[in-house]
Amino acid sequence: MMTAEGAPKKTDDFFFKLLLVGDGGVGKSSILLKFVGDVFDTRCVATLAVEVKIKTVELNGKEVKLQIWDTAGGEKFSGVSTSCFIRTAGIIMVYDMTNKKSFEHITSNWLQNVQDNTNEDVQKVLLANKCDLYDQRMVSKEKGESFAQENGMRFFESSAKTNINVETAILTLVEDIIEKNPTASLLPK
């Protein structure tokens, strides 16, 4: 639970801030809603700046509170999302596997934005969303896997609509954060 001031209660073992980045329309908000509330809404509206959701999970007997920031994907909001990188422990980079430009923007814009605004301890996951639309695929699984491997991040194909790999990808990211940089927690030591 959070206190009135927004600080984690002492009962949480870990408290991490995660950030969803990627172009508008790739499904970042849908991924967040599926993970936090097991909801998928086809009428999901575009995020205008930043939306923050909190979920507590149990991993390996530890209570982990996650503060997940869903950023707007449009270019006009890039300044807003840049300021969101402060104190971020993990990044979820999302592209739509049916939209080649969204993948190209990950490789040409979003990764650079992440590298410019975080340190090397920040863990990253690359999500190819909308894998339920496999007949409309424009980016091969191999291309996504190769890019992720070259840039030191995990790769998953996901679908917020059919709940494929949403929880798995996020919990794997959190496990990586705890394993590789356990001091990334926002809890006082």
What are 140-175's pLDDT values in tens digits?
A: 999 999 999 999 999 999 999 999 999 999 999 999
> CA-to-CA distance for 49 and 28, rounded, in angstroms?
13
More confident residue, 187 or 76: 187
Q: Which residues, including other chains, have CB under 8 Å from residue 110's CB and lie 6 or more apart?
A: 21, 22, 23, 93
Domain-embedded: residue 8: no
Domain-embedded: residue 159: yes
Instruction: Give 86-99 pLDDT, tens digit per residue.
Output: 889 999 999 999 99
Domain-embedded: residue 146: yes
Q: Residue 189: what pLDDT?
A: 41
Domain-embedded: residue 39: yes
Contact 19, 123 (CB under 8 A): no
CATH (domain of 172): 3.40.50.300
Q: Count of domains in the chain?
A: 1
Q: Where are the beta strands (DSSP E) in the chain?
A: 14-21, 50-59, 62-71, 90-96, 123-129, 154-157
Domain-embedded: residue 92: yes
Domain-embedded: residue 188: no
Query: Per-residue pLDDT for 24 more than 90?
Result: no
Mean of per-residue pLDDT scores for the chain: 84
- Could you tell me the pTM of the whole model? 0.83
Query: Per-residue pLDDT for 137 more than 90?
Result: yes
Tell me which residue range forms the domain holding 107: 14-181
